[in-house]
């Protein structure tokens, strides 16, 4: 079997890229012959070349309507739209040429925000698989023109990363659609530290969709509620320096700048999860959210906003284990209450020893992650779906 993969981006730290790497590693394990198309020469492209994986670079953009918040962005809106259309129009020819030369059985696009694989698959007459990783507007304020019509095309199959995304895009009643959770952890990834360090952790991009602003405002109020607040470590990169400064100003104005530690993007985030008193997941509406299962695999107690894909993970865990796998919250007051409660239990000692409330929750969380997010299960389901699509085609 031959598959042409189309990567939607190359940022190694991004969840879509991490899932993509997991997918192609599983494809290798199953003996799939494949090549990859990337939109630029950055991170993922070099990662593939370092491993002698055939990669092509074709410059293309996400298929979305640009949004604007300022007068400058309004002025640039139409020129940016035309520019992106022209880049993608040219990219179609490049990807079609690659597809004709490689002659794959399937084209697999790693996200629904791109469409160059769709046109390449039509050109050579093979099925196109769209991996749907995003709601669109609900999670990233993205308006994705043409996505609904592409998903209705008879030669397009879809893989949704959550049940709710599948329902949201009306893929749940289609024969050529499936829901598969991403492969996030291996059996060797699980560990628990009983001797936790005294810090809270936020791990993720510094951007509005991830809820970092909401967390900082809650942390300011939490810090006023306890005598010795647990510091908050913020681990993640930011593409908008002005937004990062505005987030730092919340801590300064709230009088907690000495308690909020800005670590930037880190390669050792797993160690921070392993040692944290708790990892906080405040995303406003996550598609799936890799951070929570990653944190759980690393033995971290999780405090998570009960919304979007995070809610689905929490509900699955509750159904699977019979009890909560994390501390869930919906309102800021509930988050503050959770942080205060963790502080009191942590400072009294023995918060994570076997048999404790938090340790039992971590154990349930790890059992749930092993059930729903193992890389091995993910790989088997992907390959089985490939076989089904090709079998239905014959």
Q: What is the CATH number of the domain that holds 123?
A: 3.40.50.2000
Mean pLDDT calculated for residue range 61-88: 77
Domain span at 385: 2-183+374-393
pLDDT at 394 over 60: no
- How far, in Å, CA of 63 to CA of 41, rounded? 20
Cα dihedral 241→303→183→39 (10° resolution): -10
For tokens 């796998």, name the residue.
Answer: 325
- How far, in Å, CA of 206 to CA of 221, rounded? 20
Same-domain status, 388 and 355: no
- How far, in Å, CA of 222 to CA of 59, rounded? 46
Same-domain status, 120 and 152: yes
Same-domain status, 261 and 246: yes
Look at residue 285 and give its three-state secondary structure: coil
Look at residue 109 and give its three-state secondary structure: strand
Among 144-153, 272-281, 366-375, which is the least confidently predicted range? 144-153
Same-domain status, 42 and 158: yes
Same-domain status, 107 and 234: no
Write the DSSP symbol of residue 94. Answer: H
Write the DSSP symbol of residue 161. Answer: S
pLDDT digit string (tens) for 148-182? 889 999 999 999 999 999 999 999 888 899 999 99
Mean pLDDT calculated for residue range 331-355: 96
Cα angle at 64 between 59 and 68, to 5 degrees? 115
Q: Rg for the chain (alpha carbons), in Å?
A: 22
Same-domain status, 147 and 241: no
Element (H, E) at 261: strand 260-264
- Contacts (Cβ under 8 Å, ≥6 apart) of 89: none
Same-domain status, 50 and 169: yes
Q: Phi, psi (5° rounding) for residue 198?
A: -90, 75
- Structure-token pair, residue 353: 């020893």
Report CA-CA distances (Å) from 161 to 18, 207, 241. Answer: 13, 22, 31
Same-domain status, 57 and 203: no
Same-domain status, 154 and 218: no
Counting the structural domains of the chain, the total is 2
Parallel, antiparallel, or unpaired for β 33-38 and 232-235?
unpaired
Same-domain status, 297 and 316: yes
Same-domain status, 12 and 25: yes
pLDDT digit string (tens) for 4-59? 999 999 988 777 898 899 999 999 999 999 999 999 998 999 999 999 999 999 99
What is the dihedral sign for C-alpha 238, 242, 244, 245? positive
Q: How confident is the model at residue 64 (pLDDT cuts 50, 70, 90)?
A: confident
Same-domain status, 148 and 12: yes
Mean pLDDT calculated for residue range 202-222: 95
Q: How confident is the model at residue 140 (pLDDT cuts 50, 70, 90)?
A: low
Q: What is the largest CA-CA distance in the chain?
A: 69
- Structure-token pair, residue 19: 């899932």
């Amino acid at each position: 079997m031959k598959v042409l993969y189309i990567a939607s981006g190359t940022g190694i730290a991004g969840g879509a890229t991490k899932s993509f790497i997991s997918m192609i590693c599983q494809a290798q394990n199953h003996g799939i012959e494949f090549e990859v198309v990337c939109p630029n020469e950055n991170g993922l492209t070099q990662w593939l070349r370092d491993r002698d994986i055939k990669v092509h670079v074709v410059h293309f953009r996400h298929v979305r309507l640009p949004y604007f918040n300022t007068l400058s962005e309004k002025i640039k809106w139409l020129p940016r739209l035309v520019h992106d259309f022209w880049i993608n129009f040219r990219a179609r020819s490049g990807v079609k040429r690659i597809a004709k030369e490689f002659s794959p059985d399937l084209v697999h696009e790693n996200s629904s925000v791109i469409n160059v694989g769709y046109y390449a698959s039509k050109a050579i007459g093979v099925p196109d698989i769209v991996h749907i990783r995003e709601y669109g507007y609900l999670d990233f304020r993205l308006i994705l023109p043409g996505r609904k019509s592409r998903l209705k095309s008879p030669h397009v199959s879809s893989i949704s990363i959550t049940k709710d995304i599948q329902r949201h895009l009306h893929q749940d009643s289609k024969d050529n659609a499936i829901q598969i959770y991403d492969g996030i952890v291996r059996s060797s990834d699980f560990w628990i530290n009983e001797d936790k360090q005294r810090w809270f952790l936020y791990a993720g991009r510094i951007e509005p969709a991830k809820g970092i602003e909401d967390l900082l405002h809650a942390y300011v109020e939490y810090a006023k509620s306890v005598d010795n607040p647990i510091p908050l470590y913020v681990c993640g990169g930011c593409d908008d320096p002005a937004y990062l400064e505005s987030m730092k100003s919340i801590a300064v104005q709230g009088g907690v700048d000495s308690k909020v530690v800005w670590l930037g993007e880190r390669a050792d985030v797993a160690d921070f999860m392993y040692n944290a008193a708790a990892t906080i997941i405040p995303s406003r509406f996550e598609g799936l959210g890799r951070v929570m299962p990653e944190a759980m695999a690393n033995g971290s107690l999780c405090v998570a906003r009960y919304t979007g894909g995070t809610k689905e993970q929490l509900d699955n865990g509750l159904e699977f284990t019979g009890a909560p796998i994390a501390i869930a919250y919906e309102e800021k007051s509930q988050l503050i209450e959770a942080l205060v409660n963790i502080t009191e239990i942590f400072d009294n000692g023995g918060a994570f020893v076997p048999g404790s409330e938090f340790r039992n929750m971590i154990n349930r969380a790890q059992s749930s992650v092993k059930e729903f997010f193992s890389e091995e299960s993910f790989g088997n389901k992907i390959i089985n779906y490939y076989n089904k699509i090709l079998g239905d085609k014959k």
